A = this chain, B = another copy of it.
Amino acid sequence: MATKNIVFLIQCEDRKGILSKTTTWLYGQNFNILNLQQYTDSRQGRLFMRIELDLADLKSTRSALEKAFDKFAKEQELSWQCHWGDYSNRVAIMVSKTSHCLYDLVTRQREGDLVCEIPLIISNHPDLEPIANQFRIPFYHLPISAKTKGEQEAKVQALLKRFDIDLVVMARYMQVLTPSFIEAWSGKIINIHHAFLPAFQGANPYGQAYQRGVKMIGATAHYASDELDQGPIIEQDVVRVNHELDPKGLRDVGKDVERRVLSKAVQAHLESRVIIHENRTIVF
């Protein structure tokens, strides 16, 4: 995955000639197409496309390209986003008391597997501050109670704004955000649920899994949406378990899947490989 690229994510009503017109327009701008993936949902008559260009081919300013493409897109009625491969997304991590997802995200970022900045960590509990310190990341402890929820969320949003955040990762934050928060950050909050959704929604999924005697447990990363655990799913995975594991054992084993699923989802988002359409994702 080269980072010196330009990625266009496009969706539109499907009709003949879209590919021809789009690739020809880009060719006219002198671009080589490094990678093009396209998918047409024939049930919905909708076309989704990811185009990766070589940044070295850019002959104009960035804003000039975006402006020109916008004109073309309006003519062709395309919805689009443009991602510049040399721009490093700014990611805020929200946590509660559990450290495994936090450790995983931060170490992957340090190793260069997640290409992003992590300017701050926000938590409603002070427990993980030492880990933030270990990695020299500013830590904001914003406690929350039923009464102070609105106030606390306002502080969180102010921090996100102040730090110019592009993406919020709820790495086991364990709080439900209010609809207005979610709406303001639509498609920009990734949450990890510690179960294979839609199984075991809500609280204590490992206890539920134990009760049901399942032979696999899973985890689900999705964009946050108004309805709890109902947002567009980005990534899921499972791990085999057996009768020997009680709820605590399931939770221990599940940490690994949670870590892996959340990191893969964040990576897909950072690499501009995800398009959201209604309650589903296209992950190229």
Which residues of chain A have a CB within 8 Å of any CB of chain B?
1, 14-17, 19-20, 23-24, 26-27, 30-43, 48, 99-100, 103-104, 107, 110-111, 113, 134-135, 196-200, 212-216, 218, 232-238, 242-244, 246, 249, 252, 255-256, 260, 279-283
Given contacts A20-B23, A30-B16, are A260 and B249 in contact (CB under 8 A)?
no
| Contact call B36/A38, Cβ cutoff below 8 A | yes
In the complex the two chains form, what is the Cα distance from A280 to B20 in whole Å?
Answer: 30
Q: Give the interface SS of chain A, mostly helix, strand, loop or mixed.
A: mixed
> Which B residue sits closest to A230, measured CB to CB?
B212
What 5 A-B pairs have minimum CB-CB distances, sorted nearest first?
Answer: A213-B280, A199-B199, A20-B27, A103-B107, A20-B23
What copy number does this chain have within its complex? 4
Q: A23-B20, A196-B196, A282-B243 are in contact. Are A111 and B135 (CB under 8 A)?
A: no
A246: which B residues are within 8 A, CB to CB? 43
Q: Which of B34, B100, B111 contacts A103 (CB 8 A)?
A: B111
